[in-house]
Amino acid sequence: MTLKSIPAGAIKRVHVNQHKLRQRLKDTECTEHCYTIKHKGKTTYAYEVYIEGPSELVERISTPLSCGARLWLETEAEIVYKA
């Protein structure tokens, strides 16, 4: 696994992909990445995520993201992740 980063600036949203998490719980040999990072219309998957600055947890039960996430972490700080 290599460390990669997304620079500080625009809003980034990090959440757990429940479908991939359930898949890994059923199949211990599955290597799917469970964290999803959404940034500038792109989706990145990761094993570990490090936020290099302030962030906030957001709950929007009645207005989820387009992917269906209702709870996520939001930041403009740099994100370093393992992919």
pTM: 0.88
What pLDDT is attached to residue 1?
A: 72
Q: In total, how many domains does the chain have? A: 1
6-53 confidence digits (pLDDT tens)? 999 999 999 999 888 899 899 988 888 999 999 999 999 999 999 999
60-73 confidence digits (pLDDT tens)? 999 998 888 999 99
Give DSSP secondary structure letters for 12-51. EEEEE-HHHHHHHHH-TT-----EEEEETTEEEEESEEEE
What pLDDT is attached to residue 27?
A: 92
How far apart CA 78 and CA 14 sit, in angstroms, is 12
Domain that holds residue 56: 3-82
Structure tokens at 44: 């990145």
